[in-house]
Chain A
Amino acid sequence: MKKRAIYIIWASAFLSYTNAKAQMNFSKDSLALYSDTVFVTANKSERQVKNISVPISLVSGKSIIQAGNTRLSDVLREQTGITLTSGFGAGVQLQGLNPDYTIILIDGEPLIGRTAGVLDLNRIAVGNIQKIEIVKGPSSSLYGSEAMAGVINIITDKKNTDALAANIRYGSYNTKDGNISITKRLNKISAQTFYNYYSTDGFSVRPNSNNRFITPISRTTFTQNLQYRFSDKTSIDGSLRYNTENIKSIIAVANNGTTIYSNGNEKNNDLNGSIVLNHRFNEKIKTKLNTYYTQFESKQDLLTVSGNPYNDLFQQNFKRIENQTEWKINSSLNTIAGFGWIKEQVNSSRYDNIDSAKTNTIKYAFNQWEWNNGEKWVANAGFRYDQNQNFASAFSPKLSLMYKANTHLRFKLSIGRGFKAPDFRQLYLNFTNSAAGNYSVFGAVEAQKVINKLNQLGQIGNLFSNYYQLKKLEPEYATGIHFSAEWEPNQNNELQFQIFRNDINNLIDVQQVGNYISGSQIYSYLNIKNAFTQGFEIEAKQKYRNGFSSSLGYQFLLTGDKDQIASINNGTVYTKNTNGTSRLLRLSDYVGLPNTSKHRFQVKINYENTKGFYANIRAIYRSKWAVANTNGNEVYDNGDQFGSGYVTLNYSMGKPLKNGFAVQAGIDNINNYMDGLNLPNLAGRTFYMTLKYSTQHKK
Chain B
Amino acid sequence: MKKAIGKGLVVVVTSIFLFSCSKSTTTVVAPLTATTVNDLPADTIIGVTAQGQPYGAGKYTFYSIEKNAIVANTDSATTKWDLAFNGTKILTNGGTSGTGLGGAFVQVGLFDELKTISPDSVFKTDNAPASYAITYGSGKGWYTYDPIKNLITPLAGRVLVIKTASGKYAKVEIISYYKGGATLAATATDAEKISKQRYYTFRFIYQPNGTKNF
Contact = CB atoms under 8 A, between A and B. Distances in A.
Contact of A632 (B48, B154, B189, B201): B154
Interface in A543-589: 572-576, 579-585
Interface stretch (B77-85, B90-98, B163-171, B175-183): B175-183
Interface stretch (B23-31, B62-70, B144-152): B144-152
A208 B175 contact: no
B186 A628 contact: yes
B151 A580 contact: no
Interface stretch (A141-149, A253-261, A274-282, A389-397): A253-261
A641 interface: yes
B144 A632 contact: yes
Given A519-B131, A581-B111, A633 B186 contact: no
B154 A580 contact: yes
Contact of B110 (A209, A255, A574): A574
Nearest to B203: A581
Identify the interface centre among B147, B182, B187: most chain A CB within 10 Å of its CB.
B187
A458 interface: no
A575 B156 contact: yes
Interface in B122-156: 130-131, 137, 143-144, 146-149, 151, 153-156
A628 B47 CA distance: 29
Given A208-B187, A208-B188, A677-B187, A581 B157 contact: no
Where chain B touches its partner, the secondary structure class is loop
A492 B149 CA distance: 51
B176 A255 contact: no
B97 to A, nearest CB: 17
B173 interface: yes
A519 B47 CA distance: 28
Contacts of A632: 143-144, 153-156, 158
Contacts of B203: 581
Nearest to B109: A574
A657 B131 CA distance: 77
B189 A580 contact: no
B119 interface: no
Nearest to B138: A437
A572 B149 CA distance: 27
Nearest to A676: B187
Contacts, number: 82
A253 B52 contact: yes
B32 interface: no
A207 B153 CA distance: 22
B47 A630 contact: no
Contacts of B50: 255, 306
B199 to A, nearest CB: 13
A210 interface: yes
A243 B154 CA distance: 46
Given A255-B52, A581-B111, A207 B187 contact: yes
Nearest to A633: B156
B190 interface: yes
B108 interface: yes
B147 A633 contact: no
A597 interface: no
A582 to B, nearest CB: 5
B173 A582 contact: yes
Contacts of A633: 155-157
Interface in A628-656: 628-633, 641
Contact of A254 (B143, B151, B183, B190): B190
B182 A580 contact: yes
Given A628-B146, A628-B149, A632-B143, A641 B186 contact: yes
A329 interface: no
Contacts of A575: 156-157
Interface string A513-528: 0000001000000000
A641 B147 CA distance: 15
Interface in A287-338: 306-307
B187 A582 contact: no
Interface in B178-213: 181-183, 186-190, 201, 203
Given A580-B201, A581-B111, A582-B110, A208 B153 contact: no
A186 interface: no
A581 B52 contact: no
A621 to B, nearest CB: 23
A562 to B, nearest CB: 21
Q: Lowest 4 A-B CB distances belong to which pairs?
A: A574-B157, A580-B175, A574-B156, A256-B48
Given A581-B203, A582-B173, 8 more contacts: A208-B189, A576-B156, A580-B176, A585-B156, A628-B186, A630-B146, A632-B155, A677-B187
Interface of B: 47-48, 50-52, 108, 110-111, 130-131, 137, 143-144, 146-149, 151, 153-158, 173, 175-176, 181-183, 186-190, 201, 203
7 contacts: A208-B189, A210-B190, A572-B108, A580-B182, A630-B149, A630-B151, A632-B144
